[in-house]
Structure 1
Amino acid sequence: MSDRVMEELYQLEMSIPQMMEIARHNKLDFYPMRFEVCPGEIIYTFGAYGMPTRYTHWSFGKSYHRMKTQYDYNLSRIYEMVVNSDPCYAFLLEGNTLIQNKMVAAHVLGHCDFFKNNLYFSHTNPKDIIESMAVAGERFRRYEMVHGQQKVEALIDAVMSIQEHIEPHRLIKENGKNTDQKCGCCSSKKPATPYDDLWDLDKKKQCCQGSGGCQQRKTAKIPEQPEKDLLLFIMKHARELEEWQLDIISTMRDEMLYFWPQMQTKIMNEGWASYWHLRIMREMELTEAESIEFAKMHAGVIMPSRNSINPYYLGLKMFEAIEKRWDQKYGQGAGKEKIFEIREIDNDISFLRNYLTKELVEELDLYLYRKIGHDWKVVEKNWEKVRDHLVNSMTNCGFPVIVVEDGDYEKRGELYLRHIFEEKELDIKYLEKTLVHIQKLWNRPVHLETKIDKKTALFSFDGEKASKKFP
């Protein structure tokens, strides 16, 4: 390592405490920070896996190859990776200039404040996430040694095909709960207090001694109400799944619950981090050359795109507009209080719905476009329609809503799924391939109801052949 690089690392090490002090002075509240400067291969490996410690899978290697190729050809660049953990780990790219790493460190402080204080991250358990993922990865490797890599990888493929179909807002944790399809009075669950059973004596007598009580519950439809958490339903009700398979499904579901808030708050999180790296860097003592380099890098990060939303740009502009509007309406300082409140309680959907105004849509020149013939054309600039389209595209993090309608379809143990159709059709090829994976997990025929050209269609796969019909 050259003397120049050593000197820059030393200056970065000296600068980080200054930036942290500026951040705290501005009321940012973050976990203890751990910064590491890593080679590009390490950063892109972490980016492909989503975490420094995680199970291995061929799809992560595919992601790594794509990202690394883009980096090698200077098509895109990951300047850093930050982990929602306590302490918070930030990995900076080796080869960044000193000013680039300073800006990235300031950006990371904004991210960490968001992780710690936003409501949607409150159940992600950041204290031991890195260790728990490492332990899970080791278990998966043991399963490969015992059951064979091909069998384990096939199971992970199947779970990955539906890993986004969970219920992230489920408030009642399953741990320690009796989730069997039984009536409450017949369960062996321990009462919360020594006197709880006294209140249920009459109910218990009616259920267990009355005509048809428990038997009616046994014959009730499963699930009684449409179930959005497909992975959880399969864990509970799929036949012939072994303990190691259930462990993999449960682990992957838990990991998706950990990543889900990051998908729910992409615009807010990047906008908040951009807002604060800009203000922290302004308070640092920079030379003229450093100020120019910082300005160029910041401009590149928030550069708007003609055909997609840049979350850094949109989030930053929205936070700045909110702060200005509240200051003008309620007095100096009210805007800062408001954006801290938004940072705490909102996600991207509520953020856009409540604060993307007509003035912002026009200022940022947001519009809807689609391909007409051979050309892409702007088809809508009405601010409310643009806002509503953005909000709708982020519902369920952009994934279609699929619910379990019947876990014992036609009394044959078959799985009947229904697509909650919202004027957007499913990708038929993807649908058919996914049904194959679900059937492997369910070990019985599976069916999916959706709409094609506004007509109800039922896709099925029984383990050997696929079919489609219009009931």
Structure 2
Amino acid sequence: MADSDLERLRDRIGYAWEIAHEFGLDPFPTHFELVPATIMYEFASYSLPGRFSHWTHGKAYYRQKMLYDLGLSKIYEMVVNTNPSYAFLMEMNDLLQNTFVAAHVFGHTDFFKNNVYFQHTSRRMIERASLNAERIAKYEFDHGKLEVEHFLDAVLSIQEHVDYHLFLKGEDEAEEEEQLRRGEVSRTRPSTEYDDLWELDHEEKERRAEEERERRRGRPPKFPEKPQKDLLLFLIRHSPILEPWQRDVIEIVRQEFLYFVPQMQTKVMNEGWASIWHSRIMREMADRGMLSDAEAVEFARMHASVLSPSRTSLNPYYLGYKIFEDIERRWDNPTREEQERLGRKPGMGRQKIFEVRELDNDVSFLRNYLTKELVEELDLYLYKKEGDEWVIVEKNWEKVRDGIVASMTNFGFPYIVVDDGDYRGNRELYLRHLHEGQDLDMVYAEKTLQYVHQLWGRPVHLETVYDGKRILLSYDGERNSKTTLER
């Protein structure tokens, strides 16, 4: 970007900020920084600036770079959900492109601030990620880089198996936890960065003592009492072999993944919301003479490119944009039946989309507002591979809507729970896949079981359904096996 355009960009960002507020948006204060393409690749690959190093991040970096070099993908911006928010612009983008990106960013930061699913995320994650990286670097120094990397391989293979609902807590509790971690307040005994791990160790000793008492009474308790979705938390608390530093590494991975969960829950809404407002902010800037006619035409081209529908996958920008647009239109112009039966009043479209932005996630958004008319207009359908060809298998609008919603259950990851942590009375770990029509990749599942064994230290088992049959995959430290179960 030319140096002569920097002052103009600063002014345009200010205008976009003012217009966003005129439209009723309430974004976090946003700090913009121009960075070269290599830094943008790094941020996109690591998902957070300053995050811990691992080869998977490097792999993602080179994939991003290759796609960009081949002209198959372009990163316009990256924005981080913090307060204040941080947004990174590409140096090589021109003035118009970065103005367009800034307008888009204000839609995101308004969404971060006001959507209920983001209310429990840490607003200091950049600082926390850097501290986490320092802790992992210290473990690499103490225990060897290769050992820590191999341990991270195992943890990252199951990082998505967390339970977000356990993470929800009030801001006061979260602040107290952060103060304890920083040492700004103390417990009744001396505080260290491992206090949470010592407490888990104490809980584990108490649990084992209670188990022993129950065994003596002839009533071995079920462990856990009910299935546990948060596999990482279960390993932190109950793995019989992990050292304190290893429990800490798992907790780092868990906390960072939980930070990204609201973004996964609202991808369609968040991108649709940002797209709605970048289009309106930029049009308003053009109407006020802040953009030239040529820039207005070029923006229309860029906007159309971002919202271009795909023939093989859902474009979240396009789908979210169209649904928000349809909600506003329908609530601005309710039918007579809607007015009489539902009490809708004309002209309530803006209020309605702000309400949806605040209260919904992608599942409720699509279930409630993806209408028959939109499914037909957007030409949505379900398809699958039969032999060597992809074929359309469903065009009924309700089944299409429900199929899209189902694909978002657990963010597309298999839903696996800890069913028994003392299987066969031998401290073996029994996991159960809650099968919802999508079979596991057997090669991936068997390799992942080996990683889980690395974290548990005893034989591990996974019950699932494959080709319509209940099977049990097992790994005992030396070999994988597969057993067909009775129905």
Judge same fold: TM > 0.5, yes or no. Answer: yes
- The equivalent residue for 2:130 is 134
The counterpart of 1:14, out of the listed 8, 11, 14, is 11
| Residues 356 and 430 of structure 1: CA distance in aligned 2, closer, same or farther (over 3 Å) | same
- The equivalent residue for 1:402 is 416
User: Is structure 2 residue 123 aligned with structure 1 residue 101?
Assistant: no
Superposed CA offset, 1:339-361 (max 9, x none) = 11111111100100000000000
- The equivalent residue for 2:242 is 241
- The equivalent residue for 1:315 is 320
Q: State how far apart, in whole Å, the 1-side matches of 2:168 and 2:55 are.
A: 34
| Residues 17 and 215 of structure 1: CA distance in aligned 2, closer, same or farther (over 3 Å) | farther
- The equivalent residue for 1:72 is 69
User: Is structure 2 residue 203 aligned with structure 1 residue 180?
Assistant: yes
Provide the aligned C-alpha RMSD in A.
2.2
The counterpart of 1:366, out of the listed 380, 386, 395, is 380
Output the amino acid matched with 2:377: E
Q: State how far apart, in whole Å, the 1-side matches of 2:326 and 2:106 are.
A: 22
User: Is structure 2 residue 145 aligned with structure 1 residue 149?
Assistant: yes
| Residues 217 and 110 of structure 1: CA distance in aligned 2, closer, same or farther (over 3 Å) | farther
Shift of 1:218: 8.5
Shift of 1:373: 3.6
- The equivalent residue for 1:452 is 466
Shift of 1:370: 2.2
Whether the aligned pair in 2 keeps the contact of 1:182 and 1:218 (CA below 8 Å) is: no
Output the amino acid matched with 2:136: F
Whether the aligned pair in 2 keeps the contact of 1:181 and 1:218 (CA below 8 Å) is: no
Shift of 1:95: 1.0
Superposed CA offset, 1:115-139 (max 9, x none) = 111111111111x211111011011
User: Is structure 2 residue 88 aligned with structure 1 residue 91?
Assistant: yes
| Residues 218 and 110 of structure 1: CA distance in aligned 2, closer, same or farther (over 3 Å) | farther
- The equivalent residue for 1:281 is 282
- The equivalent residue for 1:252 is 253
Output the amino acid matched with 1:279: R
Q: State how far apart, in whole Å, the 2-side matches of 1:15 and 1:59 are.
A: 38
Output the amino acid matched with 1:408: D
User: Is structure 2 residue 162 aligned with structure 1 residue 166?
Assistant: yes
Runs (5+) with no aligned partner, structure 1: 188-206
- The equivalent residue for 1:63 is 60
User: Is structure 2 residue 300 aligned with structure 1 residue 295?
Assistant: yes
The counterpart of 1:28, out of the listed 21, 25, 30, is 25
| Residues 217 and 145 of structure 1: CA distance in aligned 2, closer, same or farther (over 3 Å) | farther
| Residues 215 and 87 of structure 1: CA distance in aligned 2, closer, same or farther (over 3 Å) | farther
Superposed CA offset, 1:225-247 (max 9, x none) = 00000000011100121111011
Calculate the TM-score normalised by the size of structure 1: 0.90
Output the amino acid matched with 2:397: W
The counterpart of 1:345, out of the listed 359, 383, 390, is 359
Shift of 1:215: 6.2
Output the amino acid matched with 2:260: F
Whether the aligned pair in 1 keeps the contact of 2:471 and 2:482 (CA below 8 Å) is: yes
Shift of 1:371: 2.6
Shift of 1:464: 1.1
Q: State how far apart, in whole Å, the 1-side matches of 2:218 and 2:300 are.
A: 66
- The equivalent residue for 1:197 is none
Whether the aligned pair in 1 keeps the contact of 2:167 and 2:258 (CA below 8 Å) is: no
Deviates more, 1:440-449 or 1:325-334: 325-334
Q: State how far apart, in whole Å, the 1-side matches of 2:117 and 2:251 are.
A: 21
How many residues are paired up?
Answer: 443
Q: State how far apart, in whole Å, the 2-side matches of 1:53 and 1:404 are.
A: 33
Whether the aligned pair in 1 keeps the contact of 2:333 and 2:347 (CA below 8 Å) is: no
Whether the aligned pair in 2 keeps the contact of 1:182 and 1:217 (CA below 8 Å) is: no
Q: State how far apart, in whole Å, the 1-side matches of 2:348 and 2:58 are.
A: 48
Q: State how far apart, in whole Å, the 1-side matches of 2:52 and 2:206 are.
A: 38
Superposed CA offset, 1:113-171 (max 9, x none) = 11111111111111x21111101101101110110111100111111110000000126
Calculate the TM-score normalised by the size of structure 2: 0.87
The counterpart of 1:417, out of the listed 431, 446, 468, is 431
Q: State how far apart, in whole Å, the 2-side matches of 1:269 and 1:281 are.
A: 18
Output the amino acid matched with 1:313: Y
Deviates more, 1:328-337 or 1:158-167: 328-337
Output the amino acid matched with 1:245: Q
Whether the aligned pair in 1 keeps the contact of 2:214 and 2:221 (CA below 8 Å) is: no
Output the amino acid matched with 2:166: R
Output the amino acid matched with 1:439: H
Shift of 1:29: 1.1
Specify the SS of the correspondent of 1:170. helix
